[in-house]
Amino acid sequence: MMTLPNPILMHGLGNRFAILDLRGGGTLTDDGAKTLASQTGVDQVLTIEPGREADVYMGIWNADGSRVAACGNGTRCVAWHVLAETGGSRLVLETDASVLMATVSGDHQVSVDMGVPKLDWPDIPLAERMDTRFVDIKIGPIDAPILMAPTAVNMGNPHVVFFVEDIDSIDIPGVGPLIEWHPLLPEGANVGFATLQGPADIRLRVWERGAGLTQACGTGACAALVAAHRLRRLGREATVHLDGGDLHVTWRDDDHVIMTGPVAYET
C-alpha cells in the first residue's frame, strides 16, 4: 500500500483544510479522510489529483468522512498552493460539481468563478416541487416559528439561507442539525443564517453539512448573495462578513458567481 504524503494545512478565513497532494499517486478513502480530519482538527480534507478536464482535480471530504462536490474556500487554498508552485496566475480546477477557474487577485488573495447557481427545486434538490425562494421549512411553534421560509440555492452543493434580524440571537448549534437533514432536503444542506447590514453588506454564519459551525463557508457566502438578490433585498454584489473574515461576492450579469478572498498556510 502506498504511503500517503503529509498533509498541507491551510485555511481560508479560518475554514481549515488538510490537503493531500496525490498527483504522484495514492488514494484517499472516506474512512481515511475522517481519520485525518480528526487527527488534524480540520473542517474538510482535500486532495490534489491529476485533472481529467482541467489542470488539477480536487477531491473534497467533510470532517465526518462524507464526500461532497464543492468547497469555495478550499478551492481558493488549493489554487493558491498549485499556482505558488508553478508561478502561474490562473488555474483550471475540476471538482465533482464542475470545472472552475481560479485567479490570483493579490497577495494571498484568490478569485474563483464558482459558475452559475442552480435554483430549480430538483437541482437543490428538494423533496417536493415548490418556489425555492420560500422553502416550506419552519422551526419552533407552529403559530410563532423562530425560523421559516429559507431560500434555497445550489452552488455545487445545496444551501438554504434564513434571513434574520439578529444573527446573534439564533442558537445555531441547536437549530442547525434540525435543518441540515430536514425531510425536504433529501441530500441534506448547508444552513446559512444571514443579517443584512447595509446595501452591500451581509453578516453570515453557516452550519455546514457534515462539518457543523465553521469560521467561514465560501459556497455559503455565494448562496447568501444569490438568495438576497433573488428576494430583491440586495443588488448583485456584496461583502459577506463571516466569523473568520470577509469575502467579496459578485453575481455577474452572465449569471456566474465570483468569490474573492484570502488564503493562508498554517504553521
Which residue numbers are catalytic? Answer: 71, 217
DSSP-assigned states of every residue in 48-95 = EEE-SSSSEEEEEEETTS-EES--HHHHHHHHHHHHHHHT-SEEEEE-
Neighbours of 256 (CB within 10 A): 14
Strands 56-62 and 90-94: parallel
Mapped onto helix, strand or coil, the DSSP state of residue 173 is helix
Query: What is the C-alpha to C-alpha distance for residues 189 and 66, in angstroms, rounded to an integer?
Result: 13
DSSP 204: E
Where do we find the cell 473534497?
60
Short-list 115, 121, 182, CA closest to 151: 121
- Chain Cα centroid distance, residue 68: 10
Query: What is the C-alpha to C-alpha distance for residues 221 and 211, in angstroms, rounded to an integer?
Result: 16
- Chain Cα centroid distance, residue 42: 14
Neighbours of 35 (CB within 10 A): 13
Question: Which secondary-structure segment (H or E) carries 179?
Answer: helix 172-180
